[in-house]
Amino acid sequence: MGKRSQRSRPFFGLLLVVALGMTSCALHRQHKVLKLAHSLPVDHPVHKAMAFMAKRVDELSGGRLTIQIYPSGQLGSEQQCVELVQIGSLAMTKVSAAVMESFSDDYKVLGLPYLFRSKEHAFKVQDGEIGRDILLSTENVWIRGLCFYDAGSRSFYTVSKPIHTPDDLKGLKIRVMKSKTALEMVRAMGGSPTPLSWGELYTALQSGVVDGAENNPPSFYTSHHYEVCKYYTLDEHTAVPDVLIINAKIWNKLSKQEQQWLQQAADESVKLQRKLWAESVKESLEAVKKAGVEIFYPDKSLFRAKVAPVYEEYRKDKLINDYINRIQNIK
């Protein structure tokens, strides 16, 4: 009996190894990894928010769902990452809502100048039914929006002269994103809009290819554009948010529970990001002032009046007109 039992041990040991291996394989099959890439530096508020989201997804799922983040353009530019998400080679990325205009007309409304009465108004729109309608408007092109991140208000900065009124923009080449709305806005104000990729902008400012650009304070600071542009006019013409997007097919392959974990983590990251963003705006303005940048606070009504024709044109589009009315009716 003893000898037989001893002879059986290797067999039972083998069964145990096989069983453990099968369990391990099953666990491995259950574990899902989503790759998220973006072009921002790791000290940016949006990256920090996405890192928090990845941590929360891991906690909520008990390690069954993981987000791997590739920051600082490791997997390509913003435009390249969006294209990779669309074809499913990349699960997620962060992109400006302005870039999303090329995928859905719904996003155009977010680029309209002086659309929001306040930051609180903008957040109500983004967090509510209107925001959800816009986020889901690209599912037919295999992109699903998960949430909006605060990207502040965009203002003009220039190399050789300050902008006090829209008349000061005349004859100036101003870099804009590849957005129809941004092009029309700068043109209406009297400037010459020049679409350029973000990565080319520092050199373009330095060499005189463009005379200025427009962006929020943290981007102005972290890009080091303040080294070339010594005039910053806080006209705050647009509040175009960032968007966290996922490939729609990848989203649909997640279970309902996994979708819930991911959406909850994304929503929680929005609250953190907005807090970090507010702190970053204050720190960035202080930093560029110390670096010798002159900051101006113009009469915004002068700029608002110049872009009235842009609204008139967009109101001819029923979709955009409906969005404008819905947004203006949010109290």
Instruction: Report the CATH fold assignment for 31-151+241-281.
Output: D-Maltodextrin-Binding Protein; domain 2 (3.40.190)
**Does residue 222 register a pLDDT over 70?**
yes
Domain boundaries, the chain: 31-151+241-281, 154-239+290-328
Instruction: Let me know the angle formed at the C-alpha of 215 by 212 and 218, rounded to the nearest 5 degrees.
Output: 120
DSSP structural state of residue 144: E
**Does residue 129 register a pLDDT over 50?**
yes
- The SS3 assignment for 223 reads coil
Q: What is the pLDDT of residues 57-112, one digit of tens each?
A: 999 999 999 999 999 999 998 889 999 999 999 999 999 999 999 999 999 999 99
Report how far apart the first and last C-alpha atoms of the chain are (Å, whole number): 84
Architecture of the domain whose range is 154-239+290-328: 3-Layer(aba) Sandwich (3.40)
Structure tokens at 256: 């309902």
pTM reported for the whole predicted model: 0.86
Answer yes or no: same fold for 31-151+241-281 and 154-239+290-328: yes
- The SS3 assignment for 229 reads coil
User: What are the two backbone dihedrals, phi and then psi, of residue 254, each rounded to the nearest 5 degrees?
Assistant: -75, 150
